[in-house]
Amino acid sequence: MPKVTGLKFAKTNYIYYFKINNRIRLKKGDVCLVKTAIGLDLGTVVIPYKYIKTDEIDTPLKSVLRKANDEDFKKLEIIKREEIDALNICKEKIKKFNLPMKLVYVKYLFDKSRIIFYFVSTQRIDFRELVKDLAKVFKTKIELRQIGVRDGTKLIGGMGICGREVCCASFIQKFTPIHINMAKIQKIALNQSKVSGLCGRLMCCLSYESEFYKECLKKYPKLKDNIETEKGTGKVIEINVLKKYVV
């Protein structure tokens, strides 16, 4: 069974596995240089090592090249500053071509063989002229990647109304559908500011306790049901799961 390490890359919550040999000793939090499908990049160790069965491997595993050194970290700081510059340059180009798109994030691969511009838009964009302009400036492979509004918030990050970092930026790996009934079943006021996240969509956290409420409600009569009580027959007008009462 191959020995692998689990890495996370900047702005992602996914864990990607890479082969490691016994000469490389890793611990959680170490930063490694790896060759991905599109170029060199740095990843942070979240699983130092594990063994996986060959039949669990969907695509050929790439290897960890080495642990990052001081020179790599210095280069990374330079790249981060260049990404900010690239973000501002691209925003000006978008204005120049009057394109209906919102640029949210820019990422250079570690070897600078490619620069990726992430943007949000509600429509398909013809950005061929923009790509040509950007290629003249950055002298490397240009990739424009259209993403959804929730993915955009995940890349930008921010604080939720709870006072904590938004869930999508901190731990959510895959988005699941969120329905307004999840708010209704929890008796949350259907005020847009109360149920919407930074992305403008229903908050992901509405789903966290909805199953609990569904299970609890199975023990209670339904709204508008007629029930018999010590004081006679009555119609259910309110159910409070947390306080465990029916009105």
pLDDT band at residue 108 using 50, 70 and 90 as cut-offs:
very high
In this prediction, residues 141-147 reach a mean pLDDT of: 95
pLDDT at 144: 96
pLDDT digits (tens, 9 = 90+) for 16-30: 999 988 888 899 999
Helices assigned H by DSSP within 110-185 = 128-138, 149-156, 167-170, 180-185
How confident is the model at residue 240, as a pLDDT? 80
Q: Among candidates 3, 4, 6, 62, which has minimal Cα distance to 30?
A: 6
CB 59 within 8 A of CB 14: no
> Each residue of 149-158: pLDDT tens digit?
999 999 988 9
Structure confidence at residue 1 as a pLDDT band (50, 70, 90)? confident
Domain boundaries, the chain: 3-68, 74-147, 215-246
Supply the pLDDT for residue 149: 93
**The pairing of beta strand 3-8 with beta strand 226-229:** unpaired
pLDDT band at 6 (very low <50, low <70, confident <90, very high): very high
Determine the pLDDT at residue 54.
77
Section 97-120 average pLDDT: 95
Q: Minimal CA–CA distance to 142: which of 191, 107, 91, 102?
A: 107
Taking residues 171-195, what's their average pLDDT? 87
pLDDT in tens, 33-80: 999 988 999 999 999 988 888 777 777 888 999 999 999 999 999 999
pLDDT band at 103 (very low <50, low <70, confident <90, very high): very high
Q: E strands along the chain, which residues?
A: 3-8, 16-19, 31-35, 40-51, 64-67, 102-108, 114-120, 141-147, 226-229, 232-235, 239-240, 245-246
| pLDDT exceeds 80 at position 138 | yes
Query: Which DSSP category does 63 fall into?
Result: B
Measured from the Cβ of residue 118, the count of other Cβ atoms closer than 10 Å reads 21
- For the record, the structure tokens of 222 come out as 């339904």
Q: CB neighbours of 63 closer than 8 A, spacing ≥ 6?
A: 18, 19, 20, 21, 34, 35
How crowded is residue 24: how many other Cβ atoms within 10 Å of its Cβ?
A: 16
Q: How far are the Cα atoms of 45, 58, 62, 81, 240 from residue 1, in angstroms, in the given order?
A: 20, 14, 15, 41, 53
Please, what CATH class does the domain formed by 74-147 belong to?
alpha beta
First to last CA, the chain: 60
**Could you tell me the pLDDT band of residue 201, with boundaries at 50, 70 and 90?**
very high
Give yes or no for residue 221 having a pLDDT over 80: no
Helix then strand then coil, in percent of the chain rounded to 5, is 30, 30, 40
